[in-house]
Structure 1
Amino acid sequence: MSGFTLAPGDEEGPSITVPPGWFSRAIAVEPESRHVEVDGVRVHYLRWGDPSKPGLLLVHGNGAHARWWSFVAPFLAREYSVAAIDVTGMGDSGWHDKYTIEAFAEEQIAVCEDAGFFKGEEPPIIVGHSFGGFITILTGALYGDRLAGTVIVDSPVNPPDRPGGPPDREFRPHRIYPTLEEAMGRFRLAPPQPCENNYIVDYIARHSLKQVEGGWTWKFDPAIWQRFDIGDMSARLAATRCRIAIMRGEFSVLLPAEIGDYMFSLLGSSAPVIEIPQARHHVMLDQPLAFVAALRALLADWDHSAPSRKAATGPLPSPFGE
């Protein structure tokens, strides 16, 4: 087989610290800040674009927040009413005493309802990255009949011989840093990876912090993964009840090509698996414009084509793994 690809490491260039014009213009589009209450806890989200357009919900990953999408959403708001959720326990949303992935899926539907996404002729689409993709997989299994589709971005559904799941972390309270600059200097991507777009990393790091007595600390709940069960993701993916697509970074350590092939087989070998060249796990940080272009092309095609998921030959697996 002939072709060309860069090996991981070869594609790294010098860090870019000065924001390019497209990024500055995108984050200058200030979204509307909204919230909805779900099970007594405030769920915060941001919204861009014309509310009369079809709905598109963006879902961040573990320990992240809605502002991870601030430089992506304005490009999508040309065709969609776009919302980005702060999952509870993260961002500017409230905290629970205990977290479940089923509750996170309910939050996605609640934000879609509050944003008016179910009022138009076209049902909404949900795009989830990393842990947000796992939530979105469950939402597609439980509520897919209310959705136009889901896009799962670098969220690996592993075969039985490659166990996965949420991070197994010892609970430790957040440290308080005396200055914003010191706190931002402690920001790290997880899983660890280089990212030459330092202007994006600085932006999301700044919005990952909140001011408290004595300085600055992280917004996410450090106890979020205590006794957390992600469930049987293979069964939930296979039980998807709407159109679905998978996106992965070319050099992702979490979702390499063979895991993409496994997910493709779970979906009846009839859902697109799209690779973003030169991207690692944090696709929108590594290759933001390539990611936007691929997502816009995918959604434009969905506007003009019919779903072709193969009919199941027997009962679908339970999304709860029963």
Structure 2
Amino acid sequence: MADLGEPPDWLRRSLGIEPEQRTVQVDGCEINLLVWGEPGKPGIVLVHGGAAHARWWSPIAPLIGDYRVVALDLSGHGDSGRRPEYEVGSWANEVLAAGESVEADGPPVVVGHSMGGFVAVATAVAGGDRVAGTIVLDSPMVEDDPEVEAARIGAAFGVPKRYPSMDVAISRFRTVPAQDHYDPFILDYVSRHSLRQVGDEWEWKFDPMLFKAISRNAAAEQLPKIGTRVALLRSEFGLVTPEIGQIIYDNLGRVAPVVELPLSGHHMMLDQPLILLTALRALLADWEHSVPVRR
């Protein structure tokens, strides 16, 4: 494997802040949590996309600000337990439990990427005043997320594969959808934490049945039901086109911001993490002292 050299100082410092690891039981399934920040601070829950895991957030989670930040592995992902089948309602319960188990001050803001955006919306609708705000990251809402479509057509997530070494597995790591640019240090970090050892071999952590068994609510139909503050951050080179962004804006009552993240692909935390971090900080700072416009 090629030597990547030294990561930039900001990333080295951020990844050096190791989170507290804990678990919470939700409907008989053990859910893995990573927690940053001091108890008693306002809460933020970070929700990854399909086949991803909590450590996709590690480069930026410690830098969001003076918050109690928790990233969870949804069931069927990362180091969490598996279920016989998966559906958005169960994942929403996991997000609510994560936010309420980490000693935060009040209900959390929920941030969801891609498939996690579907989950964040469902959490806001089901949770009501147990959620303080919802930030959706490049989740198309009006159509299936790319992981589900890739599984449906057989382009990814088929027969589970095992590899003779971690380095071989890392060389096969791919995102769905692919994009033109990744930060090499973050991609290496994320891919290493995507694997588990089984005997002398390595395999991806996510449940291979995840996308075959999944059942979703129609996210677009849920959007008008959200009672919290809400915002959409879409990537310039992502899945949420300006046209889809307009549809989502209309469904949110034309009062929620839809903001483009310049230079970003769909997986913005893997290629433009500081742009994403700046956008999140700006939204959260505004929400701390402003009054939302009611639909």
TM-score (norm 1): 0.86
Kindly, what percent of the aligned residue pairs are identical?
45
Matched, 1:260 2:261: no
Matched, 1:95 2:56: no
Equivalent residue in structure 2 for 1:301, among 268, 286, 289: 286
In structure 2, how many angstroms separate the alpha carbons of the residues matched to 1:280 and 1:196?
A: 9
CA distance 1:258–1:218, change in 2 (3 Å): same
Matched, 1:198 2:184: yes
User: 1:3 corresponds to which residue?
Assistant: none
In structure 2, how many angstroms separate the alpha carbons of the residues matched to 1:196 and 1:210?
A: 23
Asked whether the 8 Å contact 1:33–1:44 carries over to 2, the reply is yes
In structure 2, how many angstroms separate the alpha carbons of the residues matched to 1:80 and 1:204?
A: 23
The offset of 1:17, in angstroms, is 6.2
The secondary structure found in structure 2 opposite 1:216 is strand
In structure 1, how many angstroms separate the alpha carbons of the residues matched to 2:185 and 2:242?
A: 29
Asked whether the 8 Å contact 1:157–1:234 carries over to 2, the reply is yes
The secondary structure found in structure 2 opposite 1:200 is helix
Superposition pairs for residues 65-214 of structure 1, below 5 Å?
65-76=53-64, 78-117=65-104, 120=105, 122-158=106-142, 163-165=143-145, 166-167=148-149, 168-169=151-152, 172-214=158-200
The offset of 1:18, in angstroms, is 4.0
Asked whether the 8 Å contact 1:143–1:241 carries over to 2, the reply is no
What residue identity is the alignment partner of 1:70? S
Higher strand share: 2
What residue identity is the alignment partner of 1:245? A
In structure 2, how many angstroms separate the alpha carbons of the residues matched to 1:185 and 1:262?
A: 38
Superposition pairs for residues 11-26 of structure 1, below 5 Å?
18-26=6-14
Structure showing greater radius of gyration is 1
TM-score (norm 2): 0.93
The secondary structure found in structure 1 opposite 2:243 is helix
The secondary structure found in structure 1 opposite 2:55 is helix
The offset of 1:123, in angstroms, is 2.1
The offset of 1:182, in angstroms, is 0.2
What residue identity is the alignment partner of 2:81? G
In structure 2, how many angstroms separate the alpha carbons of the residues matched to 1:173 and 1:185?
A: 18
In structure 2, how many angstroms separate the alpha carbons of the residues matched to 1:304 and 1:198?
A: 37
The offset of 1:134, in angstroms, is 0.5
CA RMSD of aligned residues (A): 1.4
User: 1:29 corresponds to which residue?
Assistant: 17
What residue identity is the alignment partner of 1:247? L
What residue identity is the alignment partner of 2:116? G
Asked whether the 8 Å contact 1:66–1:91 carries over to 2, the reply is yes
The secondary structure found in structure 1 opposite 2:39 is coil
Asked whether the 8 Å contact 1:90–1:221 carries over to 2, the reply is yes
Matched, 1:237 2:223: yes
Aligned residues: 286
The secondary structure found in structure 2 opposite 1:226 is helix
In structure 2, how many angstroms separate the alpha carbons of the residues matched to 1:148 and 1:134?
A: 17
Unaligned runs of 5+ in 1: 1-15, 311-322
In structure 1, how many angstroms separate the alpha carbons of the residues matched to 2:138 and 2:128?
A: 20
Asked whether the 8 Å contact 2:96–2:130 carries over to 1, the reply is no
Asked whether the 8 Å contact 1:245–1:272 carries over to 2, the reply is yes
1:37-56 deviations in Å (ceiling 9; x for gaps) = 11111100100011110111
